[in-house]
Structure 1
């Protein structure tokens, strides 16, 4: 049987923690979960043992102590913590190259290391707010939603990077319906959940408390959920956000759709700060990413934790198996015992999308 295609891991910002995390992830996963890194080998930490490959499939044949590298030459070098605008075009090109490999079936899924949006904008005029929007553009400007996922909780914010004062205007019935439908479809296609249970938060405190603290829930959120429920979607809500995330409540749903950024991200970062994974639902290919940023303050020190990247690679493998069970391996990527080393690095960083 032909082994499944490996996962493509982009280099991200080369002066951040991405390159060292790729090395740490390979050490943690070995050959149990094949992936290859796309980037400039000069940007890897000194002493990294790697092997350049010409085609993604070659990553399946390398021993675990070697990082498979699909080389992509950059214009600049990489000094940890000091982004160089000369590298911006290379970072963008690596993302596009990885997408092309996934679309061609040479890679099973895409996992992206953190980028630095200002460096891309300053160095290459990057016109997108982040990874998510650029990937949606590469896929044909398809509608997408951002999910933050872990083994403990999955959350989807309906609105993301806007001021809190702008949320009530941006949050329309059409937007919320699209987010719910994309979440429902993604849970089926990418997580193998036949009948997803989705909890939907209210916008206002106590979900409006019968109109005493806001009317959006009564005016249109509850009617929208009732209409979608009549179509067969399994929805609960609108629910008070302050009682949605304790253990007993989480047992009653597969994902929570929240109304704004912090309503969704505070609970998952509290429950799974080092293991959270950024997933883009709605793409024609699988994309995951660690839920942290470039961490320039600790880059190059060898103390950044690879937990989130390892979780992102594992989740990408599980999602690929759910989409294409005929191509999956027998490996259970949900069981940490399948990996030959423990993750012992320390350190941290912040959001990536």
Structure 2
């Protein structure tokens, strides 16, 4: 029982935190710098990382031995306790080429964690004997402790009450990244004003707001300075990437995320809209209007939404100049999945109903089918919002 109790007393437990080292041993005392290479043929009796204290210091003085130097003892303990002090202070290490390429090291092992050069995150080694520099894109390193999905937002809000070149965007949190699968950053307390009449941070990446088209807004981040802001990019006829991929990112800004895409006027202004998280709401804009019936899903160009739109919502309407049974269905794909249908018997009248979250499997494409038992039918769909 006594032996078992004694062994139990030496097990590591949360209550057994060692004394923290506030100062390296002999920080202000006499000490030698302990070299890595053997000093046997250089300084008799000098300690080194290779030999420790050499055999001469174990030889009696009468037989020609040399006593170990007190400064070497201080140097050894200083070297060790300096690292312990750094660890006790929560310090971590960045990439060091000299250390990595030292013959006694041979590179960082798989699973090694290094502090990024911008001090904003960590790298994890994916291989043994890794001498590559992760801060310059070296192979076999990956970001460690990534959090969130790029573009994720919390309580993002932007309102444009009248067509304007500027808009103020706020958010509690936004996740930006250096690339898909890259280093993530969670930014908080966002309150920024975009001005499309300028270029650079909080302006366009280049040029001006596109006319009668779409404009994407990115959150951009400089990990070195902590600066953040908005960056506009034309979404005219293109699908914008989730991480800014243009050639005009402001210097030092290496992380970004696409926040929203808004429509623009013929005068190159942002249209009246509200943005909530990833959803943009606008005044009703026509998707299509036709009198053509179709028994199977027929493609229509949905230019009312940007190419990035994954879903859209709005209003669908059917009408007829005579008494007739009329129906129309909207689909997000030619296969007819996710149908949203409006059907009614009309007497020289029309009827409308909302459609919600129509999934768009192809950018700016929707599909419809329609029927009418007689008369002159009309089939109309308009968009009021989209999500990216």
Per the normalisation by structure 1, the TM-score is 0.29
Greater relative contact order, per chain length (Cα 8 Å cut-off, separation 6+): 1
Per the normalisation by structure 2, the TM-score is 0.27
Q: Counting helix residues as a fraction of each chain, which structure ranks higher?
A: 1
